[in-house]
Structure 1
Amino acid sequence: MRFDLVDLQLFLHVVEAGSITSGAGRSHLALASASARLRGMEEQLGVALLTRNRRGIELTDAGRTLLHHARLLMQQMERMRGDLGEYAKGLKGHIRLLCNTSALTEFLPQALATYMHAHPHVNIEVEERLSNDIVQALMEGQADIGIVANTVSCAGLQVFPFRHDQLVLVTACEHPLAQMADVDGRVSFADSLTYDFVGLAGDSALQQYLSDHAARLGQRLRYRLRLRSFDGICRMVESGAGIAIIPETAALRYEKIMKISQLQLTDVWAVRQLLICVRQYDELPAHARELISMIKA
């Protein structure tokens, strides 16, 4: 099977335009040439990609699959062009790093600042994702380095210890949960779900992680407020607006300056080990290996 980029771009244009004629025009190809290219793609695959009718075209199941992969490839090409363009401006390296919320907010900022100070010509693209998504992205070669919780399988990847990460519940000091905690200052996640929560704004990996565990209990988190920082969350908790689940490192920091109580969760999933994951350490460029060496435990 041999498709070139012109074939894939033509296919995308045809799908987006809804007809072969319009798609050929967008690709700056004659209609006959475009039709021949599409037939050639179908002949190589041995299956139809499009069905033609008076209203235009419709995708077959094989066509939908090709559409998905063609879009990914073209996105990668655009990213490659952008990355290579940066090298002409003096860039010496680029690292794509995926991580969960705790790693991004609590552990990486200082570590990355130190690394980038020592490597001024290396750019780091950091994206927050769920641990499962990070593992999948690494397996598909969409990232160089990932930081995930040990609650997911990292089979097929090389892993290095990063940090210990514990999630805790924070409440106002007079909150009923603070009063009902056991002698060790612990409560269950299930007991907290009857109360209003304060959480992170946007598509936060931590909030999705908590929502998934609530769903397993047949419940959902009730958010009264969503904010962009743990500082803002803890201030709202202090005011009595709700309760929150945040990394223990953040809770310890804000407990010193705010009137909040920190409660340990009895749930096993609240205690996590964060891991650095890569597909193949020896195949990474030197600047990526140096980053791992600097930030690993």
Structure 2
Amino acid sequence: MRLDLADFQLFICIIEAGSITGGAIKANLALSSASERLRHMEADVGVPLLVRHPRGVTPTEAGETLAKYARQIIYQHELLKTELKNFTSGMRGTLRLYANTSALTEFLPSKIASWLKTHPDIHIDLEERSSTDIIKSISAGLGEAGIVSNAVDPQTLKLEPLVDDHLSLIIPINHRLNGEQAVFLKDIIHEPFVGFYPGSALQEHINIHASSMGYELIVRIRMNTFEGMCEMVANGIGLGILPEVIADKYQTSFKYKKLTLKDEWAKRQLCITYQCWEDLSSAMKNLLNYLKLT
């Protein structure tokens, strides 16, 4: 095949726009030029890449495969440009590390700061993602490593435990359980909850264990942030389950009580995740070893 970077970029623009016209605009090309390039791509590949509809286009199975690898190639190209620019500007490397909210909030800041002090030529691109998104990104080759909860399915990735990340229950201050210090999920299974949107690794983790008891949580409202959950609980909307460190953080801003969850599944851990240790850069290995040892 003779596909080049410009072909990949145009194809991704078309897929994201849902039409050849929209893709041409996003790629800053004339429609005729984009259409001609697309024809050459399909001729070069030997199979159709798009299904044409009256209102746009969708990728064929071959098109979906091309889009998957095109995104990786574009990402690697951008990473290469950044790395080379870093060398010319006096920097000697940039590490991309993904982290879930719990890790980014409490575990990483002091450790990353300490490590960077002893590695003045290294820069870190620290990006907050959900544990599920981190697994997907690293599996797709869009990053070297991340910090996730062991509640997530690692697929083919490696997981190495770092630190405890236990879950807590938060309740309104006037709740009937206000005098308790610790409960099992079965004690509160019939209560209304403030949950997270579908796709949240934490919410799926909780749902699985509720289902194992033959129940489905009663979710009054779903939030997409821990702060939003804490505010809802403080206003009496329902109960919430979240990492203990996050519950401690927002307890100064919102009035609620924190209880220990006695279930074994609530005793989670933060873990390092990556594809293959030997394939990691030397700087990333150094950083991850530091995180494991401190």
Tell me which interval the TM-score lies in, with the shorter structure as reference length.
0.7 to 0.9
In terms of Rg, which structure is larger? 1
Moved more, 84-93 or 107-116: 84-93
The code of the aligned residue for 2:20 comes to: G
Alignment CA distance shift 1:192-1:84 (3 Å): farther
Q: Compare 265-274 and 142-151 and name the one that shifted more.
A: 265-274
Counterpart of 2:177 in 1: which secondary structure?
helix
Deviation at 1:169, TM superposition (A): 0.9
| Structure 1, gaps ≥5 residues long | none
Q: Is 1:283 aligned to 2:285, yes or no?
A: no
Contact 2:192 2:218 in 1 (8 A): no
Aligned to 2:165, the other structure's residue is in SS state: strand
1:187 matched to 2:184? yes
Q: In the alignment, is the contact (CA less than 8 A) between 2:151 and 2:205 conserved in 1?
A: no
Contact 1:188 1:265 in 2 (8 A): yes
- Structure 1 107/40 Cα, relative in aligned 2: closer, same or farther at 3 Å? same
**2:20 paired residue number:** 18
Give matches, 1:72-151, under 5 Å.
72-151=72-151
2: CA distance between counterparts of 1:29 and 1:225?
Answer: 42
How far off its partner does 1:175 sit? 2.0
Matched, 1:248 2:244: yes
Q: Distance in 2 between matches of 1:152 and 1:226?
A: 17
Q: CA deviation at 1:295?
A: 1.0
Question: How many matched pairs?
Answer: 284
Instruction: Tell me the amino acid that sits aligned with residue 219 of structure 2.
Output: L
3-state SS of paired residue (1:277)? strand
In structure 1, the residue corresponding to 2:123 is in which secondary structure? strand
Q: Displacement, 1:161?
A: 2.3
CA contact (8 A) 2:115 2:290 kept: yes
Counterpart of 2:269 in 1: which secondary structure?
Answer: strand
8 A contact 1:149–1:274 mirrored in 2:
yes
CA distance in 2, matches of 1:168, 1:91: 42
| Distance in 1 separating the partners of 2:225 and 2:31 | 50
Q: Structure 1 residues 225 and 278, CA, compared in 2 at 3 Å: closer, same or farther?
A: closer
Paired residues of 2:169 and 2:242 also in contact (CA < 8 A)? yes
Give the TM-score taking structure 2 as reference length.
0.72
Structure 1 residues 1-297: aligned runs within 5 Å: 1-12=1-12, 18-19=20-21, 26-27=28-29, 31=33, 35=36, 37-50=37-50, 58-59=57-58, 61=60, 62-67=62-67, 69-154=69-154, 156-179=156-179, 181=180, 185-188=182-185, 191=188, 194-195=191-192, 197=194, 209-210=202-203, 213-214=206-207, 217-219=215-217, 221-223=219-221, 233=230, 243-251=239-247, 261-297=257-293
Residue ranges of structure 2 left out of the alignment (5+ in a row): none
Are residues 252 and 51 of structure 1, via their aligned partners in 2, closer, same or farther at CA, if it must alter by over 3 Å?
Answer: closer
Matched-pair contact (CA < 8 Å) for 2:72–2:142:
no
Determine the C-alpha separation between the residues in 2 that align with 1:84 and 1:190: 57
Residue identity in the other structure for 1:246: L
What is the root-mean-square deviation in Å for CA atoms of aligned residues?
A: 4.4
The secondary structure found in structure 2 opposite 1:296 is helix
